[in-house]
Amino acid sequence: MLTVRNLKVEIAGVEVLRDVGFSLAAGKATVMVGRNGAGKTTTLRAIMGLLPWKAGSVRIDGTELGPLPGHARAGLGIGYAPEDRRLIADFTVEENILVPALVRRMSAAERTRRLDEVYSLLPQLAVMRARPGGGVSGGQGKIVALGRALMLADKVLLLDEPFQGLAPALALEYARTLAHLHSNKRDIAILVTESSPKLLNSIADATLHIERGEIESLASPGDVGGLQHA
């Protein structure tokens, strides 16, 4: 579904991604594990067109993303939730989730159908739909960002360090939500980046290790257990 090959990205002359390559498949959840600064966020930002790349290619169902501006990539069915949530503070939770519907000029019927789907996959959101985006906690905000990304994710869902900064109980809730989403929405590929992968053991179909801007190994889910003790 999404194929990344030999991706190379420089930020201010410094090589941040040296050689990143992987592919994501529909119905599969992939976890990208690596330390801070290894290149996880940069990889997702490059895919979304928020950073230009020096070399390499990213294809989604055969369409090369390189020549497309960032805003055109979202329209290809990629939903992205950044690590720092980035909600619109003076829009309500529901208005935040509906921004993609506004961008894509969805019909009222399509809008309702997709919003209902988001609410059924993430029932917490239905409860806080009328609250302002600036008035939800960090953990709730992550779920809102996930719901907003789902409005666009017809093919691929990219989640950047969703557990970063969450209290253990909220992280656990987010992991359960993600597992529920993964088992109920099988038509999309999911990529989650994380510095400590233990919460994602239950949903990871594949794990990628990223180190100094390179994918080190393609590990099967069993290997993740070993990493926990390291």
Partner 1 sequence: MFQTIVPLFVDALANAALIFFVAFGLTLVFSVLRILNVAHGSFYSIGAYVSASIGLWIVSAGLNPWLTFPALLVSAALVAALFGPLIERTLVQWTYGRGEAVQILMTFGLFLILEDLQRLVFGVSSYYEDTPVALLGSIEIGGIIYLNYQLLLIALAVVALVAMRVFIGHTRMGRLLAVVVADREISEALGIDTRRMFTIAFTLGIFLAALGGALATPTAGVAPGLGADTMVLAFAVAAIGGLGQVEGAALAAVIVAAARVLAIYLFPALDAVAPYLVMLIVLLVRPYGLFGKPAIRRI
Contact between 118 and 97 (Cβ < 8 Å)? yes
Determine the Cα–Cα distance for residues 140 and 138; give it in Å rounded to an integer.
6
Out of 13, 14, 67, 105, the residue judged to bind partner 1 by CB under 8 A: 105
Contact call for residue 11 and partner 1 (CB under 8 A) = no
Residue 74 contacts partner 1 per CB under 8 A: yes
* Binding residue (CB under 8 A) for partner 1 from 86, 138, 220, 228: 86
Amino acid identity for residue 221 in this structure: P
Q: By CB under 8 A, what part of segment 137-156 binds partner 1?
A: 148, 152
Q: Which tokens in the block code for residue 5? A: 């090959």
Q: How many CB atoms lie within 10 A of CB 54?
A: 13
CA distance 95 to 102: 9
With CB under 8 A as the contact rule, which of the stretches 2-10, 24-32, 99-107, 186-194 interacts with partner 1?
99-107
Instruction: Give how many residues touch partner 1 by CB under 8 A.
Output: 25
131 touches partner 1 (CB under 8 A): no
104 counts as binding partner 1 under rule CB under 8 A:
yes
Using an 8 Å Cβ cutoff, are 93 and 128 in contact? yes
Cβ partners under 8 Å of residue 15, min gap 6: 8, 9, 213
Rule CB under 8 A: say whether 99 interacts with partner 1: yes
Q: How far apart are the first and last CA of the chain?
A: 32
- Least separation in angstroms between CB 208 and partner 1: 21
DSSP 132: B
Shortest Cβ distance from residue 88 to partner 1 (Å)? 5
Cβ neighbours of residue 84 closer than 8 Å, sequence gap 6 or more: none
State in angstroms the smallest separation of the CB of 101 from partner 1.
Answer: 10
Note whether 100 binds partner 1 by CB under 8 A. yes
39 binds partner 1 (CB under 8 A): no
Of 54, 63, 64, 71, which lies in the binding site for partner 1, with binding defined by CB under 8 A?
A: 71
* DSSP 8-state class, residue 38: S
Give contact residues for partner 1 (rule: CB under 8 A): 48-50, 69-72, 74-75, 80, 82, 84, 86, 88-91, 99-100, 102-105, 148, 152
